[in-house]
Structure 1
């Protein structure tokens, strides 16, 4: 296996990002003083307690999903006998009965669960360097790395009843963070276009659309069903319906975790890690110079390398058949910690020939882009990584977007249901 360095391509990515950013104004001492005073308000105020809890990663007002967990066999130590850690769903929040849209609970209000809109924010929002990047954009100390969540995989662990034929899964899984609490889909399929889940149970993810900022807890919204032979959606089997909370201090830095979310009709495993001081990487894969009629299969996977920790998380970037008509194959958004590097491994398979393996390493940046071209003889594959921090200035944020997470709870009255 050969490893090559990534080549820089800042100017081309500035054009592809479709956004020219101006210089943002620094936050003055007066503004910082206001922020500090807001954070030190009366802690006897229940709403203020919730706001402080949000910033510290607290998990107040969480109710167990007692129905699913009652079916989990526990050992004498109180842990599941199957050895899989269980996640918790927020109580009394479901799509089926509409409670998720009408709830007056704190979490429902702060994370705007009543709003079904997709997040308005895109990836690569701070790709183009600012004039104020000091001392220069390569070693920019103006923009900060942020704590981010990386979701490696979703897996259908089991279903509570027998399903004849292939499992056709549809619905959605969406993340809500307090940078913008609208839905950031990691899986989204309609009943007319279900995903056929293979024997390994893995759910092919389509997102996220942008990086997941985790300066505060994030919510993950589930509404997954299995399509049956019935003609109506009401005939289908509900796998999981609800909202789970993941705190920003749920695990140590870069530690890969798996949590099982138990629903009324099945369970879903989510494999993830919390990455401190991370940058958003948008990985784009393109293909060219491929012979017509070629039967080629391409698989690209990402992982991390670092002298300070070992992460076993694998990120699927692309896996499928490529044709001569293909150009840009995929776009995947991942999080990469400052103390690591992104490793992209390529495997090209051709009918009747030997598999071709290559890899390249991309060092972490705050701005700009890097690209590497694999000349494989039968095809040319370009991998381009565009960097952006989640330290997005207020001037680029739209409605329901918050540069500081505690702002999302301002003016929200908490009702203890």
Structure 2
């Protein structure tokens, strides 16, 4: 099982995909290996669904009833985008985990909304890549770089053997005032932070569910940093031990709100 600890965008300096290809002829940059993109796998021009290469037959790419996700996306940080000045953009991505067996196909189509018509959106990355289980033989985090027409994204992941799924649900209630909150996860001996949420809380609400891969019997620590504009951030932590099945709930009382954390354990069988 694999989980993402972070996704980071690179500074943008090119006008098109040919420029990126010229700068990155398949060799590592900044000690980060590029992730190969299979030919004729673009969603933009529809080539992903045309032709009969063996990988399209083997993975039944045209069958839209099947979705296979290997990587658990944490956050996306985009550098300066052509024509769009400003600071870095942070976005929380979906959290997923699946059983890793043999070679796995990853399909992606990520665009940057410009505020205009959909046809004017900038294509960040688009295509299909393969991840072999031999590439992830140990539990050490590894990083690949995916290059696109408007920049690049670094994907950092770690393979966890004998792991189970932890579905994390966080509810905010009894909200006293507006505050900011950062929720991070540390687990399974990995030192890298898995960012689950980073944003403002203005009312009682439930955060989007996150799915984390955790080694059986290991501890999962969830750290909450909460603060307002006028105060120093305070840190609270709750911990859960991984089991095959079951559910556990803990509550954290802060000066701003009551935080209820529910974790449901399950296998991928």
Match of 1:296 in 2: 179
Aligned CA RMSD, in angstroms, stands at: 2.9
Q: Which has the higher strand share?
A: 2
Match of 1:222 in 2: 108
Return 5+ residue gaps in structure 2 as ranges: 1-16
User: Residues 145-197 of structure 1: CA distance to partner in whole angstroms, max 9, x if unpaired?
Assistant: xxx754444444676xx33335xxxxxxxxxxxxxxxxxxxxxxxxxxxxxxx
> Aligned to 1:204, which of 75, 92, 96?
92
**Displacement over 3 Å in runs of 4+:** 65-70, 115-121, 148-159, 226-229, 231-237
SS in 1 for 2:146: strand
Q: Does 1:263 align with 2:151?
A: no
What TM-score, normalized by structure 2, do the two folds share? 0.81
Describe the shift of the 1:380–1:244 C-alpha distance in structure 2 as closer, same or farther (beyond 3 A).
same
Q: Does 1:249 align with 2:129?
A: no
SS in 1 for 2:57: helix
Describe the shift of the 1:295–1:158 C-alpha distance in structure 2 as closer, same or farther (beyond 3 A).
closer
Match of 2:245 in 1: 367
Q: When the two structures are aligned, how many residues end up with a matched partner?
A: 253
After TM superposition, list the pairs within 5 Å mapping 1:5-404 onto structure 2.
68-72=20-24, 79-117=27-65, 119=67, 149-156=71-78, 162-165=82-85, 198-199=87-88, 202-208=90-96, 211-228=97-114, 231-291=116-176, 294-306=177-189, 311-324=190-203, 326-338=204-216, 340-391=218-269
Give the Cα separation in 2 of the matches to 1:100 and 1:118: 15
Describe the shift of the 1:234–1:355 C-alpha distance in structure 2 as closer, same or farther (beyond 3 A).
closer
Describe the shift of the 1:66–1:250 C-alpha distance in structure 2 as closer, same or farther (beyond 3 A).
farther
What TM-score, normalized by structure 1, do the two folds share? 0.54
Q: By how many angstroms is 1:119 displaced?
A: 4.3
Contact 2:72 2:94 in 1 (8 A): no
Describe the shift of the 1:85–1:70 C-alpha distance in structure 2 as closer, same or farther (beyond 3 A).
same
Q: Which has the higher helix share?
A: 1
Return 5+ residue gaps in structure 1 as ranges: 1-64, 122-147, 167-197, 392-417
SS in 2 for 1:70: helix
Q: By how many angstroms is 1:226 displaced?
A: 3.2
Q: By how many angstroms is 1:268 displaced?
A: 1.6
